[in-house]
Amino acid sequence: MVKKLSDKSQEVYDLICKVGCLTVSQVSKIDRAENPETTVKFLHNFRYIKLLAEKYCIPFGREHEDMAAVACMWAFLSLITTDEGINREQLETLINGSSIVNFSYIHNDSMVVNLVYLDSGYTSKMAAINQRFYDLSGVQPGHEKEAGIVYVYVVDDKEVLAGVLDKDIKIPHKIAFIDGDLAGYPEVKFM
């Protein structure tokens, strides 16, 4: 018999399925319950999710944690969290991206925000994103802000960060540097 999930557990489960991997600390930040570890244990014990190394929550059917998803989620959570907590409406608009974009969401009903994890192959990925931006938006160089699209380049490696900072990026963007243990509570620095 399948146990029915509470609304809070269902929200966490749906998000884990949507993004493919969350850390227990990310669930703690998202879950409004006083003891979010209980949600993780419940989902694990009733075989909704796998719990890897007591840190990573993944849906059944997956075998490994996805560190790019985890890094992008830290940037996303930082972007949608205010003094009042997480903006639940923006959380609900999060969708899986394409082969280039990890995740996208709607910011304040007016802008598409694309989260892109950059690793050592960042040069070719950034070139593809640049081309895709102009192809999909239809804007001409010099009018990039009119597109209503912004890219958040998510980086967790200092060498990659240095390379990205050296790039002359024309499209609307932010750089999110994730500094610290991704399974803990890393600091997210925007540039």
Specify the pLDDT at position 95. Answer: 94
What's the pLDDT score for residue 85? 84
Task: Indicate the length of the chain as a whole number.
Answer: 191
User: What integer pLDDT is reported at residue 54 of this predicted model?
Assistant: 93
CA nearest to 156, candidates 136, 186, 135: 186
What end-to-end distance do the CA atoms of the chain give, in Å? 49
Provide the pLDDT for residue 134: 95
Where do the domains of the chain lie? 7-59, 67-190
Q: Quick one: pLDDT at residue 113?
A: 97
For 71, the token pair is 């890094």
Could you list the mean pLDDT of each consecutive 10-residue stretch along the chain, which spans 191 residues?
77 94 93 75 93 95 94 97 87 89 93 97 95 93 95 98 96 98 97 96
Provide the pLDDT for residue 7: 83
What was the pLDDT predicted at 4?
A: 81
Longest Cα–Cα distance in the chain: 59
Per-residue confidence (pLDDT) for residue 8, from 0 to 100? 81
Contact 130, 154 (CB under 8 A): no
pLDDT in tens, 103-138: 999 998 889 999 999 999 999 999 999 999 999 999
